[in-house]
Structure 1
Amino acid sequence: MTESSELGTFLRDRRARKRPQDAGLGATTRRRVPGLRREELALLAGVSTAYYTRLEQGQCLTASPGVLDALARALDLNDAERAHLHDLARPARGPARTFRGETAHPRIRQLLAAVGSTPALVLGRRHDVLAWNSLGHALLAGHLDADSPRTTARRPCLPRMLFLDRHTRELYVDWPDEVRTCVAYLRLVAGRHRGDRALAALIGELAMKSPEFAEQWSRRQVRDCTFGTKHFHHPLVGPLSLEYEMLRLPDRPDQQLALYSAAPGSPAQAALRLLTDLVHEEDHSRASSRSAAEVGGGR
């Protein structure tokens, strides 16, 4: 789909969702399609019907930030949808290309190790896991090799795991809600990075292999996942409700530091402490095995 058609499709979708009575136009029984007519949206946004029609049909390749903001207000777009509208109206920077592989800065890896009692991981723009600490690994993907984020070929991708990995599907108490959030985030990122071939390939793969993904993608929801609550049914410690925060890294804005925490005195805090103890025991056992192997090899 071309840039202009993506913009037009998004505008048509949101126009169809806007009820005339919510815009102060009053309901009518003579509407053949739901939502606002083009001339009504143009009136609300303060632009001509001809101009808006060209914009929606892809015949106008530029729109000022002021016009886009006026359309966003008329359509009652939220912050993520407004940003997505601006992204779609912005010309792509050249042809589609493969972006260089993302890596976590050593400084951030050091930070992850320092917050060992908090599940933490670094995510790339496609929510590839670039690094995690032992507790982050144990929380989200204990069935995978802890060193897998270090190599591009083996690097876990949270959206791919959510739809195609049985263990991850079973991890989330409300898997359908997790799916909606994930797809809405990918839609936002796809608008922001329209030239990212790897992102396009990921979306294509999931659409082919997962009917649930394809169905959600067709809904054109947009959401920026920055904080909230996730409910897990962890295979080792059972039910676990954790708050999460996604912090963008100042020098690498496409990367996010994800941190999970439990409310003080909650059952989740007790479960997280148990998981921490299990991780420490495993780490100690692994370190002891390595030491024994080194001593044996030195004889």
Structure 2
Amino acid sequence: MSSSRMISANGIEIFVTEQGSGPLVLLCHGWPELSHSWRHQLPAISAAGFHVVAPDMRGFGRTSAPKSIDAYSIFDMVGDMVALVAALGETKAIIIGHDWGAPVAWHAALFRPDIFTAVGGLSVAPPFRGRERPLDALAKSGVTNFYWQYFQKPGDAEAEFERDVDYTMRAVTFGVDASLFLKDGHGFLGDPTIPRPLPAWVSEQDHAHVVETYRRTGFRGGLNWYRNIDRNWELTAPWQGAKIHQPSIFIAGANDSVVTGILGGKRVTEMDRVLPNLKRKLIIEGAGHWIQQERPDEVNAALVDFLKGVRV
């Protein structure tokens, strides 16, 4: 059975759920999620002989949520994971992330190969650092309605998402994959008159847990990750063109708009440029963005096979 606790690391309090013993595996969730997103992976990975730890990431759930937007850079996120490894009494770990957690995992492997001996990403391919700030590039290409742009102004997206948290979670996390482009007359969530039934892979109990948590915390912490997109581009300049040499795995759903969209598609096709030691690229047909919840058996099998091959 899994257990939970608070751990002080990198100047904040990090809530973790953990299970098992053995080499350390960190699981980094995305937006708008919680460590609860990994509930299907903890028992499978621990049963394979690992100590698996899923934190609520900075700004989410029961983990600290600093007020300053500047406290949510990629350096802060990776710093949290580096400090968490040490706080858990370890010097090495394998790190896996989904959605926004994937860039954390990729950059952790890039910045600290001495600590992170293998890396996995779900739904978001490794970074190709472009020639200019991402938001500037979007604007120059004539795009004005991409969700990254909508999330920049503090308060706007928060107001939309917090108006009805139950509906928000049905529309975004547990609904049909949302469009990444806003439509006229609607915010990110789209037409509120459209019914949003829970899919078969989400229980009412799991949905209620996430809704209750976000009603308490609001959405500001997670949205602040997006408000550092251009700043992250500036901070990572020294790693321009760098490769991630550790063993790696990538898993995504074939119907995931992040993977098939204007930004993600090219990255998925060309990820070997960044990942010369890519062990497996698994694209699961018929699956969407919330892959480890939607198709846990296939994801677990792939992750356990990968982990056994790269055991710390």
State the TM-score, normalized to the length of structure 1: 0.24
Where relative contact order (Cα < 8 A, 6+ residues apart) is larger, the structure is: 2
Q: Choose between structure 1 and 2: higher helix proportion.
A: 1
Q: Considering only CA atoms, is the larger Rg found in Structure 1 or Structure 2?
A: 1
State the TM-score, normalized to the length of structure 2: 0.23
